[in-house]
Amino acid sequence: MDPAIFGGGVTVTGAVQITNAINDDHRRLRQRFMQALNGRAVASQEHILQHYAAQFIEGIRKELKSSGGTVDIAKWFSLATFDVIADLAFGRPFGNLERGELHSWVAVVFGAFKALPFLRVIRELPGMLFIGSHASFLLPRKLKQMWRDHFNYAFSLIDERLKNPKERKDFVYYLIHDDGEGLTHDEIKECAAQMVMAGSEPTATFLSGLCYFLTRNQAVYEKVKEEIRTVFHCEEEMTLINLSQLKYFHAVVREGLRMFPPAADIFPRIIPEGGETILGKYLPEGTRVGIAALAASYSKSNFDNPDVFDPSRWLGDDEFKDKRMRASQPFGQGHRSCLGKVLATAEIRLLLANLLWHFEIELAPGQENWLSNCRTFLGWEKPPLMLQMTLQQAF
Ligand code: HEM
């Protein structure tokens, strides 16, 4: 992995974070995080996810009454994913969904996703190499201050949470461990603050993009809505296990991840000592290599009619019956692949299924070009996505 991508090795406390840790440190941190984010851990946190999914629906329902039927669904997805990750990372609710307002941290998260690629480019400029991980001095002062505030606030919450580490089964519970292999307090602080970034924006951005594609493809929207409303008779039935059985729903999410991969940038690897031959071409050590998710998704050599939102390409017993389809890897691959895949999938399924079960959705007038107004950095910068919504199920 290229540590430069996530801002070099400098952290507030000096302790490592999961994204810039290397070798043994990375292995140790990753093993711990796998305990906190594997299928069993996420299943044990389902009640937390269900709680926020219910608040998400309730919040939209209230806003619809005052807004005359139009809501910015991108905002509601951000509120929900932020509440979930903040609860799991810091062990206490943040109440963003209840208030219906984005926490100031969300701006920091978006600022960070936008700033990191610039820093990466700056470091590559001839003569700028000496700047190394200190290139952040080039960032706007306001953003740096927000960044520091974010970390300081996060650290104070973790200090509080660490007073009783075994209190509940959130991230701290799994990360602390008493077997000598756990994380230090500073590492937990750094990683928790970072987790709020890695664990909120990509999932919210993806769900917004998926809603856009659904509302632009009426036949797909009708089909997935029918599947959900036929299978589930009440919201309590929409459990993670039950949702995992829905074939077309799964295909819709998979196709969404192909057409709107939230981590749109390249996550490079560095060729190790001695060099490497890739696709018949020798690359010397130190070369950065990587795949751009968007380019892989929209290449005709990987997908037939790549511009068409067609979930049926993912149907069938073998998802990868056509080997070229492996080109779409929205969560990355290998020992740096996304640690939050199971959690993200659970959140996506719960929020989307609840949305489609409770509401009719369509694009509000003037939103047809929403996708062309999105810009990619490390993730996506997106404008609000206004949907016209009507409530389907009586509470
Ligand atoms: C749809 C949502 C998400 C997508 C598409 C996504 C995608 C990615 C990608 C592409 C990477 C880089 C992989 C690489 O370098 O090969 C990554 C890394 C990571 N993601 Fe996610 N992510 C999502 C949600 C989450 C969530 C919810 C969490 C946390 C709870 C999370 C935590 C992480 C962490 C910790 C890493 C760094 C792993 C490491 O360096 O070992 N992600 N993610």
Nearest Cα residue to atom 11 of ligand 1: 338
* pLDDT at position 191: 87
373/105 Cα distance (integer angstroms): 23
Ligand 1 pocket check for 198: Cβ under 6 Å = yes
Q: Which ligand 1 atom sits closest to the C-alpha of 85?
A: 30
Residue whose tokens read 């600022």: 111
Ligand 1 pocket check for 80: Cβ under 6 Å = no
Whether 338 has a binding-site annotation, put simply, is: yes
Indicate the domain borders of the chain: 3-391
DSSP string spanning 297-323? HT-TTTSSSTTS--GGGG-SS-TTSSG
Ligand 1 pocket check for 18: Cβ under 6 Å = yes
Nearest Cα residue to atom 22 of ligand 1: 338
Nearest Cα residue to atom 27 of ligand 1: 199
Q: Residue 89 half-sphere exposure, CB side, CA atoms within 13 Å? A: 29
Ligand 1 pocket check for 336: Cβ under 6 Å = yes
Q: Are 80 and 43 in contact (CB under 8 A)?
A: no
314/322 Cα distance (integer angstroms): 10
Ligand 1: distance of its center to the CA of 368 in Å? 29
Ligand 1 pocket check for 392: Cβ under 6 Å = no
Name the DSSP letter for residue 337: S
Q: Which of 42, 331, 342, 380 to mutate to test the pocket of ligand 1 (most atoms within 8 A of CB)?
A: 331
Ligand 1 pocket check for 338: Cβ under 6 Å = yes
Residue (of 216, 204, 219) closest to 355 by Cα position: 204
Ligand 1 pocket check for 175: Cβ under 6 Å = no
354/356 Cα distance (integer angstroms): 6
* pLDDT at position 393: 57
Ligand 1 pocket check for 344: Cβ under 6 Å = yes
pLDDT in tens, 179-225: 666 788 888 988 888 888 889 989 999 999 999 999 999 999 999 99
Q: Which ligand 1 atom sits closest to the C-alpha of 257?
A: 5
286/311 Cα distance (integer angstroms): 39
Nearest Cα residue to atom 18 of ligand 1: 338
Amino acid, single-letter form, for residue 30: R
Ligand 1: distance of its center to the CA of 233 in Å? 34
CA distances (Å), 256 to each of 183, 270, 297, 319, 361, in order? 35, 29, 11, 15, 17
Ligand 1 pocket check for 302: Cβ under 6 Å = no
Q: Which ligand 1 atom sits closest to the C-alpha of 344?
A: 27
**Long-range interactions of 303-307: CB distance < 8 A, separation 24+:** 303/258, 303/327, 303/328
Q: Which ligand 1 atom sits closest to the C-alpha of 333?
A: 16
64/67 Cα distance (integer angstroms): 5
Residue whose tokens read 């996708």: 371
* pLDDT at position 395: 45
Ligand 1: distance of its center to the CA of 340 in Å? 6
Nearest Cα residue to atom 20 of ligand 1: 338
pTM of the model: 0.91
Q: Which CATH class is domain 3-391?
A: mainly alpha
Ligand 1 pocket check for 94: Cβ under 6 Å = no
Query: Which pair of structure tokens corresponds to residue 262?
Result: 């939230």
Percent of the chain's residues with pLDDT above 90: 58
- Greatest CA separation found in the chain? 65
Ligand 1 pocket check for 206: Cβ under 6 Å = yes
Instruction: State the helix-helix crossing angle for 201-216 and 341-358, rounded to 10 degrees.
Output: 40
Query: Which pair of structure tokens corresponds to residue 116?
Result: 């990191």
Q: Which residues of the chain have pLDDT under 70?
A: 1-10, 107-140, 143, 177-181, 317-321, 393-395
Length of the chain measured in residues:
395
